[in-house]
Amino acid sequence: MPPSALPGAVTPLIPADALAERVTAMGREIAAAMPGDVTMVVLLKGGFVFAADLLRALGVAGVDARVEFIRLSSYGSGKESSGTVVLIGPMPEGLEGRRVLIVDDIADSGRTLSYVRQLMLDAGAAEVRIAALLDKPSRRVIPVPVDFIGFSVEDRFVVGYGIDYAEGYRYLPFIGVVE
């Protein structure tokens, strides 16, 4: 990208080639653990770039995954979560008996993932697994089983590869830290 497009306040943390390599490997790990039918349930908005690459990594690994999306309450425009998770928008249909892979950008407090996990179980999913590109284990408040993790990171506020700060920076092809 041209140097002018690099925001000065973002320090690179995980380069694009490392993301690509790890997501490809996650596709193989998930394919081995979930052979056969898989329905990805992607958490919007932050999970969409990761999910697009993971879908193709799963395909390369031999899994023809279905894709559904759900949108939840987010951080708003600040850096701190409100602590309340709310479903905004429609709930995917036809999850009864399906093997669901929840796909999110970051496992932080765990509130979002544990809420969605219960939502999937209530919808009658036969199996629920969770894939998160990033994990911040030191931030966990609600325990939740994250089955597939891309990278564990420190308690820093990150952006890029679909992850935003005040709706910006999602376009970055790498993960960076906002100072």
**What values do phi and psi take at 44, rounded to 5?**
-90, 150
Residue number with CB closer to ligand IMP (22 or 45): 45
Whose Cβ is closer to ligand IMP: residue 57's or residue 134's? Answer: 134
Bridge partners of 39, per DSSP, are 66, 100
Of the pair 46, 150, the CB lying nearest Mg ion is at 46
Q: Which is nearer to Mg ion, 49 or 57 (CB)?
A: 49
How far apart CA 91 and CA 125 sit, in angstroms, is 13
Backbone angles phi, psi at 81, to 5 degrees: -70, 150
Only one of the segments 42-50, 57-65, 119-127, 167-175 lies at the binding site for Mg ion (rule: CB under 5 A); that segment is 42-50
Q: Is 92 in the site for Mg ion (CB under 5 A)?
A: no
Scanning 29-37, 41-49, 87-95, 125-133 for contacts with Mg ion by CB under 5 A, the matching segment is: 41-49
Residue 41 dihedral angles phi and psi, to the nearest 5°: -110, 105
When binding is defined by CB under 5 A, the residue of 27, 46, 92, 110 that contacts Mg ion is 46
Size of the site for Mg ion (CB under 5 A): 1
20 conformational bin, left if phi > 0, alpha if psi -120 to 50, beta if neither: alpha
The pair phi, psi for residue 104, each rounded to 5°, is: -135, 165
Q: 135 contacts which partner out of Mg ion, ligand IMP, none, CB within 5 to 8 A by kind?
A: none
Quote the least distance from Cβ 37 to ligand IMP, whole Å: 25
Q: Six-digit token pair at 37?
A: 């039918």
Rounded Cα distance, 95 and 39, in Å = 8
- Active-site residue list: 108
Binding site for Mg ion (CB under 5 A): 46
